[in-house]
């Protein structure tokens, strides 16, 4: 009886969403075939990475109900992990004696700091770029969710943690590069392949990682743990009443979201060829929230496409002579309009249209079924 009361649209919605994800990923993979311009290919790769970052926040905010205003912290940690290992592999002209990074030489540092040693291994750096953001998020989540901190207080704590880390990186210039960040990086090399920032190999690396992260996050939301996390978002007290460890599930979702953001940060360093404190700044972190709101925070694909759309429009307006001075006002106005008239974002609009189409397509069939039942009853 319960299955008959469910609308056919909602029964087919997970498969429809998966099909949409696969279509978008396929389009992303074939972009280099259609776009024969290295500069534009690099720009698209950058937008895809930002889309991954927005998708990671959707997992935390939209599915787990945890508004993380410090999502850029995980992104920045991943970025610096990759930058540190690539900096240690630069040609001698960009380093000091014994391979010491140039900014350390300028600040009279004579020995490589102990926390830089492990990053001489590229494999360690790749693992650390994902594991460190996840570990930091899990530790922060342990204090918050075990203490049953919720709502705006979570947003404030995450924002404060990101600001503290940003100030620490800027202040320790002799070890982190300070305001200048870490520049003059070597190219990433994996399995004999050199990933030039403007080459197709780097684009495919970004596209494959984006596809894997998107499918992995989607699969996670369909597991039992993912469904419990969504239930916690809607009715935390009820889930706790049934005996589930609410804090553990929230920590897991929070850490998984941070891991994806860390992976995006590493890719961003490869694409941009530097790491900067702005990668874990307030402006970027708030921008991610805007991207999620525009695309639809309760849709992984919507958040990803929202980030690509907003970042693309922002880049086009900022490079246009007509909107050179007013592009920020235009972006602000678009965001206000979307929040007012599309509270569920673009994904919510698509979902509503799809539900309307399904409703109209099934209405004649239901009418025929009702006539058949009436005749059989007669």
pLDDT tens profile 165-195: 999 999 999 999 999 999 989 999 988 889 9
What pLDDT score does 225 carry?
Answer: 93
Pairwise CA distance, residues 240 & 231, whole Å: 10
pLDDT at 97 over 80: no
Pairwise CA distance, residues 343 & 308, whole Å: 19
Report, as an integer, the average pLDDT of 44-54: 95
Pairwise CA distance, residues 318 & 341, whole Å: 25
pLDDT at 376 over 70: no
| Global pTM exceeds 0.85 | yes
Cβ neighbour number for residue 101 with a 10 Å cutoff: 27
Pairwise CA distance, residues 179 & 166, whole Å: 10
**366 pLDDT tier (thresholds 50, 70, 90):** low
pLDDT at 43 over 50: yes
pLDDT at 28 over 90: yes
Q: Rounded mean pLDDT of the chain?
A: 86
Enumerate residues 6+ apart whose C-beta is below 8 A from 212: none
């Amino acid at each position: 009886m319960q299955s008959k009361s469910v609308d056919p649209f909602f029964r087919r919605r997970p498969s429809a969403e998966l099909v949409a994800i696969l279509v978008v990923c396929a389009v992303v993979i074939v972009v280099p075939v259609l776009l024969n311009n290295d500069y534009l290919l690099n720009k698209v790769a950058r937008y895809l990475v930002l889309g991954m970052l927005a998708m990671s926040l959707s997992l935390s905010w939209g599915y787990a109900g945890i508004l993380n205003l410090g999502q850029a912290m995980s992104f920045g940690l991943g970025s610096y992990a990759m930058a540190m290992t690539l900096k240690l592999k630069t040609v001698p002209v960009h380093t000091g004696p014994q391979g010491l990074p140039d900014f350390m030489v300028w600040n009279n540092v004579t020995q490589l700091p102990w926390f830089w040693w492990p990053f001489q291994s590229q494999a360690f750096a790749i693992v650390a770029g994902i594991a460190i953001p996840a570990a930091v998020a899990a530790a922060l989540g342990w204090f918050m969710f075990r203490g049953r901190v919720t709502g705006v207080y979570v947003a404030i704590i995450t924002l404060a943690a990101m600001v503290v880390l940003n100030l620490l990186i800027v202040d320790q210039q002799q070890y982190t590069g300070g305001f200048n960040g870490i520049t003059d990086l070597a190219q990433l090399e994996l399995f004999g392949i050199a990933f030039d920032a403007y080459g197709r190999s780097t684009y495919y690396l970004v596209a494959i990682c984006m596809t894997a992260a998107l499918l992995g996050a989607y699969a996670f939301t369909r597991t039992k743990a993912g469904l419990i996390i969504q239930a916690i978002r809607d009715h935390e007290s009820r889930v706790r009443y049934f005996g589930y460890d609410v804090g553990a599930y929230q920590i897991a979702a929070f850490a998984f979201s941070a891991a994806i953001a860390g992976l995006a940060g590493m890719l961003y360093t490869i694409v941009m060829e530097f790491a900067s404190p702005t990668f874990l700044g307030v402006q970027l972190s708030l921008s991610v929230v805007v991207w999620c709101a525009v695309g639809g925070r309760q849709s992984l694909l919507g958040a990803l496409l929202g980030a690509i759309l907003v970042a693309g429009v922002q880049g086009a307006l900022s490079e246009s002579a007509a909107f050179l001075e007013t592009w920020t006002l235009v972006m602000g106005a678009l965001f206000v309009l979307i929040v007012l008239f599309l509270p569920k974002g673009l994904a919510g609009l698509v979902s509503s249209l799809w539900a309307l189409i399904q409703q109209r397509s099934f209405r004649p069939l239901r009418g025929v079924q009702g006539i058949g039942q009436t005749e059989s009853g007669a």
